[in-house]
């Protein structure tokens, strides 16, 4: 099902923004556990489950992205769960009230994996399709078994289409590493036991914090000269919040 089949944000004139969080479909929240298959006498490795660091009740997030040149970009994400096992995130960035870009990300959510299978790039003013990327196989972004310090990820083929016609085909790689748990303070609040992840996509890299009940909460990306920090400033459906 395409995103155009769903209701879209009613007003693009508001100050909206970018992000790349991940709040997922419902799953019980637990703590990191010790890997069970370590031979006797060896040090156990802490293992994390992506489902422990999601926001199953989140319907919308707003971020602010601070750039190295001193400018700021607003980011709004709307999370849609049309059916069990699927998550759609509408991701809109804007500066000074002017929409800059609009992406729609499609994910499969299973008991063991969090998979990204399509990305639609739309005109932020008209919602007309610029192009669509389909991943084959879907990219595995996170897993239910992530030993601390161990890299996981894969390479996939990407087919870019426009109006159903293929316009490009290329390969894409992505890898992720769970680094441990931190307390995170952002404008929206302070969160404990957030999973810190190192994420690489091609030549791009970032450190992202995922917090229990919230999902993606803070992202630091780029090199010192191009450093960007994105922080959560508002959330609908986060703990102690009510949907509006």
Report pLDDT digits (tens) over 99-129: 999 999 999 999 999 999 999 999 999 999 9
Q: Domain for residue 208, yes or no? A: yes
Beta bridge partners of 199: 176, 206
Q: Domain for residue 158, yes or no? A: yes
Q: Domain for residue 5, yes or no? A: no
Q: What is the pLDDT of residues 128-153, one digit of tens each?
A: 999 999 999 999 999 999 999 999 88
Q: Domain for residue 98, yes or no? A: yes
- Asked if residue 166 lies in contact with residue 182, where contact means CB atoms within 8 angstroms, the answer is no
Name the average pLDDT for the chain. 84
Q: For residue 33, what are the CA distances in angstroms to 113, 147, 158, 179?
A: 17, 10, 35, 14
Question: The CATH number of the domain where 78 resides is what?
Answer: 2.40.360.20
Task: Kindly report the number of other CB atoms within 10 A of residue 237's CB atom.
Answer: 19
The rounded distance, in Å, linking the Cα atoms of 89 and 78 is 6
Q: Domain for residue 184, yes or no? A: yes
Total tally of structural domains belonging to the chain:
1
**Domain membership of residue 174 as a residue range:** 12-36+44-236
Task: Give residue 43's pLDDT.
Answer: 57
* Sequence-separated (6 or more) residues with CB below 8 Å from residue 113: 140, 142, 143, 144
Task: Give residue 239's pLDDT.
Answer: 87
- Asked if residue 182 lies in contact with residue 194, where contact means CB atoms within 8 angstroms, the answer is yes
Q: Domain for residue 1, yes or no? A: no
pLDDT-derived band at 65 (thresholds 50, 70, 90) equals very high
* Buried/exposed code over 223-235 (b: 16+ C-beta within 10 A; e: otherwise): eeeeebbbbbbeb
Beta strands 189-201 and 146-147, pairing class: unpaired
Q: Domain for residue 71, yes or no? A: yes
Q: What is the pLDDT of residues 9-50, one digit of tens each?
A: 433 333 222 233 333 233 333 334 334 445 555 556 899 999
3-state helix, strand, coil in the chain (%, to 5): 5, 60, 40
CA angle 37/140/31 to nearest 5° reads: 45
* Sequence-separated (6 or more) residues with CB below 8 Å from residue 220: 206, 207, 208, 227, 228, 229, 230
Coil/strand/helix, residue 225: helix
Q: Domain for residue 131, yes or no? A: yes
């Amino acid at each position: 099902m395409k995103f155009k089949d769903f209701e879209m944000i009613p007003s693009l004139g508001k100050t909206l923004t970018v992000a790349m969080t991940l709040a997922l479909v419902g799953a019980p929240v637990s703590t990191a556990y010790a890997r069970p298959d370590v031979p006797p006498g060896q040090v156990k490795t802490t293992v994390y489950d992506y489902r422990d660091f999601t926001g199953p009740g989140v319907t919308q997030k707003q971020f602010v992205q601070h750039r190295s040149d001193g400018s700021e970009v607003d980011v709004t994400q709307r999370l849609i769960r049309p059916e069990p096992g699927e998550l759609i995130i509408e991701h809109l960035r804007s500066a000074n009230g002017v929409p800059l870009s609009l992406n729609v990300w499609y994910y499969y959510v299973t008991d063991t994996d969090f998979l990204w299978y399509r990305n639609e790039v739309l005109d932020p003013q008209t919602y007309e399709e610029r192009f669509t990327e389909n991943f084959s196989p879907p990219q595995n972004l996170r897993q239910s078994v992530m030993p601390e310090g161990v890299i996981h990820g894969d390479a996939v083929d990407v087919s870019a289409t426009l109006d159903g016609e293929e316009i490009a085909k290329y390969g894409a790689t992505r890898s992720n590493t769970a680094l441990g748990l931190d307390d995170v303070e952002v404008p929206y609040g302070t969160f404990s036991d957030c999973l810190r992840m190192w994420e690489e996509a091609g030549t791009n890299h970032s450190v992202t914090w995922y917090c229990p009940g919230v999902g993606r909460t803070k992202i630091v990306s780029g090199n010192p000269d191009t450093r960007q920090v994105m922080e959560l400033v508002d959330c609908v459906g986060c703990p102690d919040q009510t949907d509006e």
